[in-house]
Structures are given as structure tokens and as C-alpha cells.
Amino acid sequence: MTKNDFRVQFPLWNIALWMILMFWSFGIVYAVDILAEGVDSIYAIVDGELTIKWHYPALFSMIVGLLLLIAFFIAYFRRLNKHNRENPALKISAFSFFKPGEFLEDDELLSQVTENAAKKVYVLYSQALPLIIFFIMIFPFNRYAYIVIMLLMLIVHNALYYREFRLFFSDDYQLESAGNMRSNWLRMIFPVILTVIILISIAIPSYQIVQGGKDQQEKLQQFESCLDTGKSATMEIAQNGKTIVTCQ
């Protein structure tokens, strides 16, 4: 077995999938919100004409994300079939819920490396999840922000796992004790997690403020356009906090 073995690279495939889903879910969340609120919210009257308010970033995310998912699964299943043909005794199931494909337990040494990697992943979740719970409790962001946080956790999880086996195939690998793994990992990962949380805390409210300003400007234009046509217009705030313009 080498570092180029499909089972060793399995976490990299997982990382690619989570990154694609992070990109694609932006458009999906937007589409689900539209369906929940009613498709009427995407229509607007501008200069007396009915127009559709396309949200181009979400539309781009849905279309390109779907194409990336199709391309990913085509490449994944081709690589999986190739591995299973070349290694009939070490076949990997396409979908496994009880034993992930990245678990390598061919011999005692690989089992020990897998155990060390699993311990580090456990430490990651035991330290990061309380921070994420605090983050969700304090900041009432759009649920897409929390999807991004969860997917980032999965990406770090797989990156950590892959790094352990990369070290194993190098000349610098040592079987560390659980205590040393925990302290070394905490020193390395805590600043990263804290930095990601701070960046998300700044980026998402900034985006919501800018987007909210644009939405209000569009509603105002819709209101004025309705008045220009000689009709009566009303503006009210719905329970979800969004402004609704009614033209009669």
C-alpha cells in the first residue's frame, strides 16, 4: 500500500464532496426559502411591468453546483470500480454507514494508525462542538451559515484523518500517546476554529445588511411604480421580517 492508494485518498474525495455541497447548498437554501414564503415573492412590478427578481448568485450556485455533483459522482464511481477490480480482496462499498471506507485495518500497524486518527477526530469534535453550539445560540443567522459551519467541520475532520496517513507513509511518523495527541492537536486547531468563527461572524452579517438594503430599495421602487400607474399601494412587514408591497 502507498499514499496513492484509493483508500488512503478516500478522505480527499470526501473533502471534495463537502466543498461542492457547501457551494450547491447556497442555492438550494434560497430556493427552499422561496417555496416556503410563496413564489409570489420573486415577482415585482417595475415601471408598470411585472418582472422576475432573479437572484443570480443563488441561480449560479444551483446550476453549477449540480453539474459539479454529477461530475464528482461520475469520477468517484469510476475510481471506485477501478479499485475494486484491482483489489478484489479489499473491495469498498459505494455507500457504507457502519465502516467508513477510509478505515484501514489490514494489519496491526495500520489499525494503530487508524486508531490514532480516530482519536484526533474525536478530540476535534469534543472541543469544537461546544463552540459551535455557543455560536448558534448567540448569532441568529440564516441557516446556510450553520450548514457552512457543519461542512467545514467535516472538511477539517477528513483533512486531519488524511494527514495522519500521509505522515505514516513518510519517515517522520511516530505513534503518539493519546495525551500528546490531544495537547498538540488543541494547540493547532483552536486558533483555526476561532478564526473561522470570527470570519463567519463578520462576513454573514455584512452580507445580510447589504442584501437587506438592496431588498428595501427594490420594494421602494415597486411601491413607487405602483403609484405611478395610478393604483393604490400598501407596504407591510410580514412575520418573517420581510417587506411586502401590495398593488391594487
Complete DSSP assignment for 94-129: SS-SSS-TT---SSHHHHHHHHHHHHHHHHHHHHHH
Residue 1: inside a domain: no
pLDDT band with cut points at 50, 70 and 90 for residue 138: confident
Q: What is the mean pLDDT of the chain?
A: 77
Let me know the angle formed at the C-alpha of 94 by 93 and 98, rounded to the nearest 5 degrees: 60
Tell whether the model's pLDDT for residue 151 goes beyond 50. yes
Query: How many domains does one find in the chain?
Result: 1
Residue 119: inside a domain: yes
The confidence score (pLDDT) of residue 177 equals 47
Residue 123's φ and ψ, nearest 5 degrees, are: -60, -40
Mean pLDDT score, 55-73: 91
The confidence score (pLDDT) of residue 47 equals 62
Structure letter (DSSP) for residue 171: S
Residue 149: inside a domain: yes
Residue 100: inside a domain: yes
Strands (DSSP E) along the chain, which ranges? 43-46, 49-52, 233-237, 243-247
pLDDT band with cut points at 50, 70 and 90 for residue 178: very low
pLDDT band with cut points at 50, 70 and 90 for residue 61: very high
Which position has the higher pLDDT, 201 or 12?
12
- Whether the pTM exceeds 0.75: the reply is no
Which position has the higher pLDDT, 170 or 15?
15
Tell whether the model's pLDDT for residue 101 goes beyond 90. no
Residue 176: inside a domain: yes
The confidence score (pLDDT) of residue 19 equals 95
Which position has the higher pLDDT, 179 or 145?
145
Residue 26 domain boundaries: 6-247
Tell whether the model's pLDDT for residue 165 goes beyond 70. yes
